[in-house]
Homo-oligomer: A and B are copies of this chain.
Amino acid sequence: MKALSALGLVLFATTASAQESPQQVTPGSVVSAAPATDWRSIDPADLLVMTLSPDSSGKPRVVVIQLLPPPFSQGWVGNIRTLAGQHWWDGTTVYRVVDNWVAQWGDGEDEKADAKPLPEGLKVVPESEYTAPMKCEVYRYEGKVLDERCEPAFNGIEAIDPYVMRGQTGFSSGWPVAFELTPEGNRTWPVHCYGTVGVARDLSPDTGTGAELYAVIGHAPRALDRNIAVVGRVIEGIEHLSTLPRGRGEAGVYDDPALKVPIRSVRLGNDMPEAERPHFEYLASDSASFAQLMNVRANRSDEFYKVPAGGVDVCNVSVPVRRVAAR
């Protein structure tokens, strides 16, 4: 695990260190070379498989979402498990698509009299759960800091971030996150990147149930961080959302109902027949391969690049995810 100074800021990215590896190291080559031990299985229970109606040429459209692990957003994630378990989304639609912003799905009529009734037992989650506590312990030997371990684990990115004033961005269990030192201690939260899935809501103090969800299909809308619940990310099939026609109604809602994309079903991976379950792995963010990936992303050195930036934002280090055969 990588040491991290929870109190200090890493203000400047390191420049490219002397090349330890061949010239043609790319993000792709780092991922290809990662040993099997650097990959982690994603539990099918943490997958949400959304099947849209086929496209105009009859091709299937399946979007696979990975749900966030504890301690992040578990109130909403629990609601989403309930909604999927009750097949609540079946027959709802993707009803809002805004260029360089989001694609949104669910009932879409939740403010109207003919809203689809929600299942019982959904939690009302407080705004305080947009972030989670983070506790760090420093390990010393003869007065020197040897290591610092945080719960949840945190692997910092060696670059500054304009959205985090007294903290840092990095990765926790394969997710892009940030933390900030507050008067109440460290708080950590999942950040909005391309493909992030979040919970649409009304005005505060409403935090949304999880029935109306959106996926980011543009530049990371980081101003939403800590203001809305992040619950997951699209790990396969984002193009079935990002290529949809943009809505021309208010706030990008489809004014033409014919444009709404019917959702055939949304299932948790572990509720699917075993033969149909998809299986995925992600590259562990506390692995040596991931540390090298962060460095290569910040300091592109293959022959296409002449000027390494010396830094990278947390959303440009996409966590590698791959589909694997069932075991």
Contact = CB atoms under 8 A, between A and B. Distances in A.
Interface of A: 11-13, 15, 56, 99-100, 127, 130, 159-165, 193-195, 203-204, 218-223, 225-227, 238-239, 242-246, 297, 300, 303-307, 309-313, 315-316
A219 B316 contact: yes
Given A11-B11, A221-B316, A165 B244 contact: no
Contacts of A306: 127, 204, 226-227
Number of copies: 2
Contacts of A219: 193-194, 218-220, 315-316
Given A218-B194, A222-B316, A316-B219, A163 B309 contact: yes
Contact of A309 (B56, B160, B225, B238): B225
A246 B55 CA distance: 14
A166 to B, nearest CB: 9
16 contacts: A15-B165, A56-B56, A99-B238, A160-B161, A162-B312, A162-B313, A163-B311, A163-B313, A164-B311, A165-B311, A218-B219, A219-B315, A221-B316, A222-B312, A222-B316, A223-B305
B223 A297 contact: yes
A96 to B, nearest CB: 14
Given A193-B219, A312-B163, A305 B239 contact: no
A300 B223 contact: yes
Given A164-B309, A222-B312, 12 more contacts: A99-B242, A100-B194, A100-B195, A162-B309, A163-B310, A203-B304, A219-B315, A223-B312, A227-B306, A227-B307, A239-B245, A243-B246
A310 B165 contact: yes
A246 B243 CA distance: 8
Contacts of A305: 223, 227
Contacts of A316: 219-223
A297 B218 CA distance: 17
Nearest to A98: B239
Contacts of A300: 223, 227
A191 B294 CA distance: 21
A162 B311 contact: yes
Given A100-B194, A316-B219, A226 B163 contact: no
Contacts of A238: 99-100
Contacts of A246: 239, 243
A11 B220 CA distance: 21
Contact of A159 (B162, B218, B239): B162
